Amino acid sequence: MRVLLHIDDAETWRDALAERLPGAEIITSDAPAEARRDVDYLAAWKPPAELLREQTRLKGIVNLGAGVDALLGNPGLPEGVPIVKLRDAGMAELIGDYVRYGILHFQRDFDRYRRQQAHRAWREHAVTDKRDWPVGVLGLGAIGARVAATIAADGFPVHGWSRSPKSLDTISCHHGDAGLDALLGRVRTLVLLLPDTRETRHLIDERALAALPEGASLINPGRGTLIDEQALLAALGEGESEGRLRGAILDAFPTEPLPADSPLWSHPRVWVTPHMAGPTPLGEALDQVAETLRAFEAGEPVDTVDPGAGY
């Protein structure tokens, strides 16, 4: 089988994939056009449209990330070619750590202490017990479910939300519009781990933010499009004094890199990180890629993406 690989540091991926797939010919996308044409499979993260258009007989595409929004929006994507995405592949643990840091940041008042430090103010705040700090996790896919379980194991009550009903140990599961309202009304920190789809775009709008309890906080390691930025800025309010929304830790933005003139950069209660919450760890990802390609070749069932649903 011939596999075309498109990702940063493709040589490292090529060598490691070759070890897992003896006999396969693995070509990196910087190879000359003739050498990379007519491969059987493409394993890629955000491939250029041209790279997709060159291919005439693709049997499958492996998306080297969890979110398929960029791939599904690629104008070169051929119709009808099955797509498989990475599922967790070590990302959930990393994102779980990011989210834990974020929750503790607010629950243990690090945001307030930072502001106090600027004024050399020595003032202790009473600790709110974890058990009184419900956390909401929107999105219970491979990553969301694992992150939710991690937070629950830390001792926080966790409410999870998904489009269709789910049942998970240690998580209070909600679904649908009514379920979302019920969740929003009771969580002190809201974590966004939904895919970018038609249904989820601007899900966190003025109405959703108003449904959160006063002083709630937001963590978004998911997708920037989930949030209506104007509504977010309005809910945060201006200046150092806390608005309805106490603060936001944001890792994903509708335009990345976040434009230099975005008001989010300088907002005193917003923390911006450069889409670093869940980098794809090589080892587990490669195991999944190798297993997927093997299953494709063997004609075995593979867990493909539903392009209509967007995940």
Active site residue 174: no
Asked if residue 218 lies in contact with residue 249, where contact means CB atoms within 8 angstroms, the answer is yes
Minimum CB separation of residue 280 from ligand GLV in Å reads: 6
Strand partners, 249: 219, 271
Q: Name the residue nearer to ligand GLV (CB basis): 67 or 96.
A: 67
Kindly list the residues in this chain that would bind ligand GLV in the complex (CB under 6 A): 65-67, 280
Q: Name the residue nearer to ligand GLV (CB basis): 60 or 67.
A: 67
Minimum CB separation of residue 158 from ligand GLV in Å reads: 22
Active site residue 223: yes
DSSP state of 47: -
Minimum CB separation of residue 152 from ligand GLV in Å reads: 23
Sign for the CA dihedral angle at 171, 172, 175, 178 comes to negative
Minimum CB separation of residue 210 from ligand GLV in Å reads: 28
Taking each helix axis from N to C end, the angle separating 10-20 and 282-298, rounded to the nearest 10 degrees, works out to 50
Which residues touch 276 (CB under 8 Å, ≥6 apart)? 251
Q: Which residue is nearest to ligand GLV (CB)?
A: 65
* Side-by-side strand order, sheet with 216-220: 172-175, 158-162, 135-138, 189-192, 216-220, 245-250, 270-272
The residue from 20, 186, 244, 275 that is catalytic is 275
Cα–Cα nearest to 269, from 286, 245, 251:
245
> How far is 117 from 239, CA to CA, in rounded Å?
16
N-to-C CA span, the chain: 26
Q: Name the residue nearer to ligand GLV (CB basis): 16 or 234.
A: 16
Q: Name the residue nearer to ligand GLV (CB basis): 116 or 304.
A: 304
Q: Name the residue nearer to ligand GLV (CB basis): 213 or 274.
A: 274
> How far is 139 from 52, CA to CA, in rounded Å?
30
Minimum CB separation of residue 135 from ligand GLV in Å reads: 21
Strand 60-63, strand 83-85: pairing: parallel
> How far is 74 from 16, CA to CA, in rounded Å?
27
The residue from 105, 163, 201, 223 that is catalytic is 223
Catalytic residues: 223, 275
